[in-house]
Amino acid sequence: MERLNIALLGAFQVTKHGEPITDFEADSARALLAYLAMHAGVAFARTALAALLWPEQPEADGAPRP
């Protein structure tokens, strides 16, 4: 398993094997990674995470696709 290093205090930084990862498509992707890292080992429903990060979107948008 590959290991990520995530710095949440100060500037948000993610590195893999010492190389920075900066190609996040949106701030919400960084927020999701930070939230999941802070709650490691906890299972979340996809709809719950979608409601947390994108409260203005309809709940159905966060539901898994068939």
Q: Tell me: the pLDDT tens digits for 24-39?
A: 998 989 999 999 999 9
Tens digits of per-residue pLDDT, 7-64? 999 999 999 998 999 999 989 899 999 999 999 999 999 888 988 888 888 765 655 6
Tokens of 16: 């893999």
pLDDT at position 39, please?
94
Whether the CB-CB separation of 50 and 56 falls below 8 Å is answered with no
Q: What is the pTM of this model?
A: 0.75
Q: How far is CA 10 from CA 6, 13, 42, in A?
A: 11, 9, 24
Domain boundaries of the chain, sorted by first residue: 4-62
Integer-rounded Cα Rg, in Å, for the chain is: 14
Tokens of 39: 């709650």
Residue with tokens 């947390």: 52
